[in-house]
Amino acid sequence: MDRRTACLQQADAFREKAIADPEHHDQWIDEAIKWLERAMEAGCRAAITVEPGNIWPVSEPARSTPDGLAPQSRMITRQ
């Protein structure tokens, strides 16, 4: 399970606590909001790095390569 999904599940758990415990509703909602913010941060951490080389626009022969990139260029993605 990725970090974003885990954070969303925690937020859901706190929302359920808020419904079940009206006396501490605001406290549980505050916790749910914190977990939703963490989920948003986790979802925005994807990075794309393009190594030197002209990949845009990609020429027609390069599109037929398995990765779809020009042979002299390489794209690296990570989360």
pLDDT digits (tens, 9 = 90+) for 5-39: 999 999 999 999 999 999 999 999 999 999 999 99
Write out the residue range of the structural domain in which residue 60 sits.
Answer: 46-79
Share of the chain above pLDDT 70, in %: 56
Are both 24 and 1 inside the same structural domain? yes
Could you give the CA distance from residue 62 to residue 56 in angstroms, rounded to a whole number? 11
- Residue 36 half-sphere exposure, CB side, CA atoms within 13 Å? 11
Are both 13 and 39 inside the same structural domain? yes
Are both 36 and 55 inside the same structural domain? no
Are both 38 and 61 inside the same structural domain? no
Structure tokens at 63: 């599109």
In this model, does residue 62 exceed pLDDT 70? no
The count of domains in the chain is 2
Are both 62 and 51 inside the same structural domain? yes
